[in-house]
Amino acid sequence: MTPVEKPGLAQPLPEDPHRRRQLRRGRGRTLSAAGVAGGAVALLAALAGVLMLRPELRQSALALGRGSDMAAVAAGPKAADLPAAVALPAAVALPTDPALPQLADGRHYPLVPEDPAELAALLAAVETALRDPATPAGQLPRLGHQQQVIYRQLSRDQARSEAVLALLDPAWRSVAERHVAARREFLAMQRRSRPLAILPAWRIIAPAPAEELLAHYRKAAAATGIDWEVLAAINLVETGMGRIDGVSVANAQGPMQFLPTTWAQPGVGQGDIRDPHDAIQAAARYLVRRGGRQDIRRGLWGYNNSDHYGRAVLLYASLLRDDPRAYTGLYYWEIHVHTEAGDLWLPVGYAQSQPVPVAAYLRQVPASAPPAARSGPA
């Protein structure tokens, strides 16, 4: 069970035998606009329940052993410590440029301000809106993607990230520090990798509804003692909560990326390896089998033999533990891949039965490319 990159899931790492992945076509699902709007209402109700009833994350990012600075970052604020929702306009004014190529739904690649003060203000507004129940459901995909691209850019630019973090409210600073730290763990896993010249034979599909996945995580947590936040973080970094649909060259399958041999182990896999409910329950059972109930780091090592992986998963889990409303933003993260043309966005609808050169794909879907003048380091 080895993720493709992490999260927002960038690229396979061909020189590492634990990361050799190229997903071929699988099956998918579609969501109507009405379903998204209705799901947002249900999700808010579900998250309200989590805020009251959520279990403690027994092996949190505080146990990562990276020293006092990492522990301070991982500790973070509780939900009550976060800045109160401020009065917002009907829509957060995300940066836009009418000259940018757009997808059929009107979205373009998120723009990120160069000025640290502007970027800090935008990030605070986006984080607030993603947690505000008054935010219209139709805005959430753009807000989540904006959040993701901001953190992807900051993670690759130390000076820029420090300037932006210094301008944030202390509570938002802790949130942003953990996002950046988690992303950098995955970048550290890729240091020997080369940017992709060929895009993989993947299919990108809409994930299961957010509240449905949340119910699966909570059910698995109640049955096994593995915290729902950890399961959500694994689902995020393995397949973007199910957006990457297919089978890897190593034959890992489904939204939690199980090898059939692992799935077949007694007491692990039950049902359909590619069904979100069944895969999430199996992941929790597998983590228990690998010692995760006693030490979640040991369980995560069984999922991916990398300390970087475990630290990153636990950082994302700590964000969810401290404020379950953070789940909304993570749910709307998209699939990105690090290529010779920069940090490409592979939207829902990407479907390649064979690997395709980056240049050829961008001639077909130019909106996937980062804006050349404003994207910053990919």
pLDDT tens, residue by residue, 242-253: 999 866 656 788
**In a domain? residue 21:** yes
Task: For residue 201, count CB atoms less than 10 angstroms from its CB and return exposed for 0-12, middle for 13-18, buried for 19 or more.
Answer: middle
SS3 for 102?
A: coil
Cα–Cα distance between 184 and 262 in angstroms, integer? 29
Residue 49 has pLDDT above 60, yes or no: no
Widest distance between CA atoms in the chain: 56
What is the distance between the alpha carbons of residues 167 and 118, in angstroms, rounded to a whole number?
Answer: 10
**Rounded Cα–Cα distance for residues 318 and 59 (Å):** 10
Q: At what angle do helices 228-239 and 296-303 cross, to 10 degrees?
A: 20
What's the angle, vertex CA 41, arms to CA 238 and CA 112, rounded to 5?
55
Please count the residues of the chain.
378
**Residue 254 clears pLDDT 60, i.e. is over it:** yes
Beta-strand pair 335-339/198-199: unpaired
User: Sign of the CA dihedral 198, 239, 177, 309?
Assistant: negative
- Mean pLDDT (the chain) is 81
Tell me whether residue 272 is in a domain. Answer: yes
End-to-end C-alpha distance for the chain, whole angstroms: 26
Residue of higher predicted confidence among 35 and 159:
159
pLDDT digits 0-9 by tens, 198-239: 998 999 999 999 999 999 999 999 999 999 999 999 999 999
What's the average model confidence in pLDDT over 63-83? 43
How many domains does the chain contain in total?
A: 1
Domain of 116, in residue numbers: 17-368
In this structure, is residue 279 part of a structural domain?
Answer: yes
Exposed e or buried b per residue across 22-37, where buried means at least 16 C-beta atoms within 10 angstroms of its C-beta: bbbeeebeeeeeeebe
Q: Is the pLDDT of residue 241 over 90?
A: yes
- Asked if residue 378 belongs to a domain, the reply is no
Q: Would 203 be classed as within a structural domain?
A: yes
Instruction: Calculate what percentage of the chain has a pLDDT beyond 90.
Output: 67
Separation of alpha carbons 241 and 275, rounded Å: 12
Which two structure tokens, joined as six digits, stand for 224? 């096994």
Pairing of strands 335-339, 342-346: antiparallel
Residue 181 lies in a domain: yes
| pLDDT (tens digit per residue) in 111-169 | 999 999 999 999 999 999 999 999 999 999 999 999 999 999 999 999 999 999 999 99
Any domain includes 136: yes
CA distances from 290 to 11, 79, 237, 295, 299 (A): 27, 31, 19, 9, 5
Strands 203-204 and 244-245: antiparallel
Give a yes or no: residue 4 inside a domain.
no
**What digits encode the pLDDT tens for the residues 169-201?**
998 999 999 999 999 999 999 888 899 999 989
